[in-house]
Structure formats: C-alpha cells, structure tokens
Chain A
Amino acid sequence: MNNSAVISLKQIKKIYDMGGAEEVQALRGVSLDIHKNEYVAIMGPSGSGKSTLMNIIGCLDTPTSGLYEFNGINVSEMNDNQLAKIRNKEIGFVFQTFNLLARSNALHNVELPLIYAGVSSTDRKRLAHEALDHVGLGDRVHHKPNELSGGQRQRVAVARALVNKPSILLADEPTGNLDTKTGDEIMVLFEELHSEGNTIILVTHEEYIAEHAHRIIRLRDGMIEVDEMVNNRKRVLA
C-alpha cells in the first residue's frame, strides 16, 4: 500500500523558532499517506497547522524533523534547487488569491512552468493552449488577469497548475475569493480533473467545500484529529 503512495508523511514536525527560548510547534508529528487519484480535503481552524502542512506538502517549506517521501523519493532533505524542480514538475498549485502574474496574459501565465521546465517555445505554446482549452478558456488566451473575471482567473491558475502534468494538484482555499456560483463551477472543474485521474489535495476551512472530497483530514493544534472517508460525497454537476 505504501509503495503506491504519492505522498507519504511520517512524524512530520515543524517548529518555528521565534527568537530566544520561544518556539512555536506548528506541526507536532503528522503522519499520512495520499495515494494516486485520491481527492483529499485538509481542514482545520486557523492555527491548526494546515497552512504549514500545505507548504510542506507543496515543497515550499521543509519539515524540522520527520520523513517526507514524494513518489518514494525523500524530499525532506532536499536543497532549494531540488525542491524547485519538484514544485515545477510534480506539484500544481492553485491559490486562494489566484497568484497570476498581473502583467502577463493568460497564455504566458500558463507557459511559465513550462519555461522553468525548459520546454521549447513551440511546445510551450501548444501545451499552454491545450491547458487553457481544457479549463474552457480557449478564447481568452490573450487576456490579462485584470481583463478576466474571478472564476476565469482561477481557471487560468488551474491551467497553469496542470500544464506540466503534475502528480498532485494542491489547492489552497481555491473558492475563497469567489462567489458561491463561481466557486461551484471551480468545484465542478476539480471533479472533472479528479475523474480524469488527477490527485487533488484541497485545503479549506469550509465544510461545504470539503465535502466534495473523498477523504477529509482534520487538523487541530498541529496534529491530525480525524482522518475519515466521506460517505455521502457531495457531487456538483454542471
């Protein structure tokens, strides 16, 4: 079972040194496995450590102690460049605030991970177009973020996250800045992506959103409180 895990955390601890003798234990030993094509929601109140956990899973940060294996590779001791490569190829981020480059059009935003992956210009254009088509923005490629609606911006972000065909899609409150209707549209998109075989990790504090997932992991005070499968999955259909 462990061998097929995309993400495997063992006793992950993250301690922030606040200077002097003071330190904050953001994660106090988290262990979990996430397998291919799982749809997992990570929940918890603020201060529960869910952001820290997301940063570690997303290879934006490294744990103070514990073992983190990504596709069987130990990433807990990787250096910055190696982490950058993992982020580039294996992880697709979707943020609450979209985090698109404001001065670049949709196409260039989606191209960016391909640039860092060293893909040639013609392939880049083609793949970026495909990814934008996939999220239903094939006709908006030359629009800049400020010329797009919130939902469209988040779709661009999803296209950018998927363009390098990552192992996981890591979404941090992806509907947090959207109205309910647009948020639902994004959840439909996630549903589709999941059914196409993508592994999705969703960080949220909204029960309503989390219920789209197959599995919910609830954090409290830096520990996993509950790790449960969702029986009555909420399905949104377009």
Chain B
Amino acid sequence: MYFLFEIKEGLRIALRAIRANKMRSVLTTLGIVIGIVSVTLMATAIEGVDRAFEKSASAFGSKVLYVQKFPWMRHDDWFKYRNRRDIKLEYVEQISHQATMVDAIAPSVMTMKDARFGSRTMLGGFVTGTNYQYQEASGTIIEDGRFFSQEESDGGRPVCVIGANVAETLFPAIDPIDQVIKVGGFPYKVLAVLEKQGGLFGTFTADNRIFVPINSFMNQFGSRRDVLISARVAPGVDIEEAKEELRGIMRKLRHLAPGKEDDFNINEQEMLTQVFGAITVVIAAIGFFITGLSLFVGGIGIMNIMYVSVTERTKEIGIRKAIGARRRTILFQFLVEAALICLIGGIIGLMIAYPLSLIADQILPTAMPISVVAIALFVSLFVGVVSGFLPAYKASKLDPVDALRYE
C-alpha cells in the first residue's frame, strides 16, 4: 500500500519536474528518442529482410531438390565444378522411371530473349524450357490460366506461361491469356500468368520468366547440353532419404565407381535458409550493437541530467527528509523521474519510427512487429532505471542536515 503511494507521489513529482524544465526535458529525451528510433528501425529492417528472404526462398520450394553441376554454396574452385560433365536431359526420363520418392520432375534450361507483344517489348526475358511437371516440381503458383499439358510439352507446341513482370510489361491493359507473343521472334500463345513472387533474388524468381515446352526451346533457341533438374519430394517422404535415392540414381546414370566423388550436386532450399540465417544473425548483432550505442549515449545523457537535477534539488531533498521521507522514498522519486523521461522518449521514438517503418515497407516487405514495440518500451524504461539509479542513490544518501543547509 505504501509502495503505491510512493509510485503515485513519485509520478506526480516527476511530471511536475519535467514540466518545470521543459526545454531540458526535451533535450534529454532526444537522446532516448534517437536511440529508440534507431533500434526499432533496425529491428524492423531485420524483420523485413527476414520476411523478404522467406518469401524469396519459398520460390525454391521447401521440398524440392535441384540436381546441378554447381552447389549453391560453393566452398572451393569454381573450375572444378565447371569442368564437370553436363547434367543431361535424358536423366529426367530415367530418374522419373527409377525414383520412388519424388512425384514430379522437370528439367529446365534457360536463355535470355526479348519478348514482344504488339508495340510493347520486354528486353531480356528469361526464357525457360521445361516440361509439364514444372509447376509441381518447382512449387510455382498460377495466378490465371493453366500450365501446359503433357501433350503440349512433349509435342513442343508453341505455348508459354509467363511470369508476373512479363505480363505487366507486355499487357498493361488487357488480359494476356490466349494472346500470342513473340519470343525471340517466334510466336507463343500465352496459357497462363504466374503469381507474383517478388523477393530478394530478382532474376531467380519466376517473375521475369517465360516458360515454354523444352522441345520447342531446343528447336527454336538451340539445344543446351547442361540442364537443371528439379524434383519434388513426394508427400510424407523424408527429404534426406529422397536426396539419397536421387543421389544413388544419379551416380548410376553417370557410372561413378564406388568411392569416387559425386560429380554433381543436389541442392535444396534448406541450404539457403541456413546460410541466410547465419548472415542475419551477424547483421542483427552488429546492427543492434551500433544502434544500442546511441541508446547508451542517450542513457548517459539521462544520467547526467539526473545528477544535475539531484544537485539542483538538494534543498528539496533536505526538506522532504526533514518531514519524514525515507531514503527509499527519495531513491524512488528520482528513479521514477528518470524512468518516466525515458519512457516518454521511448513513446516519442516509436511514434517517429512507425511512419518511417511504413516508408521502409516500400523497399522491404515489413511491418513493425508488436514485440518490437513492447521491447522498445521495456528497453527505454530499463535505460531510465539504470541511468537514473546512481543519481537517485546519491540523492537518497544525502545527509538531511547538509541538504537543508544547501543553497
């Protein structure tokens, strides 16, 4: 009960002191405001990068294996991988016959070609040759229309599925479905538009791609000897087991003697996630350290001004002690004042940081998480209590006789 009195009286005194020294309070608070703005924006940015990555990584599908010459995370010489034998298109057929743990498998080969519709041109579209299973094997989502069928795929029909950016560029006003576009000079009928993926990886995403049947690709754009094979792991199958099976098949197809090193790589989204996770941790640590410094400086400002405040109010402390304030009461009074200044700083900081985070949202898909708000308020309170403690302790230890005599 007495404690509540102390809080109430402490708040009252603190508010009065803050109001009495408006300019000083504003300047003192500024340090905390800047600290909180930078820390919350940092947290929001990291959250945004995380989200952007998650979204981007999902473009690779979490249960998709990618058979390639190159590993995604390269540790040694690039030439070692470049000189490997090509991943052949025939493997797709053979794998789909032998593999039991994957339920969709698709090759892809890519080239850059301009796409044209009427007077509109998209320069450097990524033309990808693949088969009818690509959609399943890659996890891409169709916004409108349908992916090409097995017959269209096998027959190399002049049909295509276009990414969201391609659709926006070529068809700003009309429905792209069933329109015929020219890809590298050859006509292709648009069957479908893919959902926009966005994200950090830019060209990796399907947004800038034009998917055509692989046989058509080979005819029109020249055959490619090295293909990328994507395979979706069947539901309920452990991704590592499927990877092992795929590896076995690949070794057999490439006639690798036991004990010989793989001359291909099977990549998966997990690898990206792991590496990215490690990177964000480092970025977050550095970021929070630097922004934390500004908060620390703000805290020193609070401490400084609280010392001034204690000295200035020595007489008042003496009076309060003479009429019965205990040490704890005085300690509490100044702690509450420091905490309140910081808390107000924290709230102002959040009010500034929030609109800034909305601006950041234009670049990164982010939003200030409620946890950041809570943590920011807690941190500012904490800074207040920590930096207010020494001055408050000094005040509480003042000798009443000396304090009363102070002018």
Contacts and interface: CB of A to CB of B under 8 A. Distances in A.
Interface of A: 55, 58, 60-61, 80-81, 84-85, 87-89, 93, 95, 99-101, 103-104, 112-113, 115-118, 160, 164
B324 A117 contact: yes
A18 B41 CA distance: 56
A93 B322 CA distance: 7
B20 A160 contact: no
A115 B5 contact: yes
B63 interface: no
B324 A99 contact: no
Given A103-B16, A116-B329, A118-B5, A89 B401 contact: no
Interface in B304-329: 315-316, 318-329
A233 to B, nearest CB: 29
Nearest to B320: A112
A116 B16 contact: no
Contacts of B139: none
Contacts of A100: 319
A118 B328 CA distance: 14
Contacts of A117: 324
A118 B4 CA distance: 9
A164 B322 CA distance: 13
Nearest to A54: B401
A160 B323 contact: yes
A116 B325 CA distance: 6
Interface residues of B, number: 25
A101 B319 CA distance: 8
Given A99-B315, A101-B319, A113-B323, 14 more contacts: A61-B399, A61-B400, A80-B327, A84-B321, A84-B326, A87-B324, A88-B323, A89-B324, A100-B319, A115-B9, A116-B320, A116-B329, A118-B2, A160-B323
Nearest to B17: A103
Contacts of B316: 101
A84 B324 contact: yes
Interface centre among B2, B17, B320 (most CB of A within 10 A): B320
B76 to A, nearest CB: 71
Contacts of B2: 118
A60 B322 contact: yes
Interface string B379-402: 000000000000000000001110
B322 to A, nearest CB: 5
A60 B401 contact: yes
Contact of A118 (B1, B320, B321): B1
Given A99-B319, A103-B20, A88 B324 contact: yes
Nearest to A163: B323
A112 B12 CA distance: 12
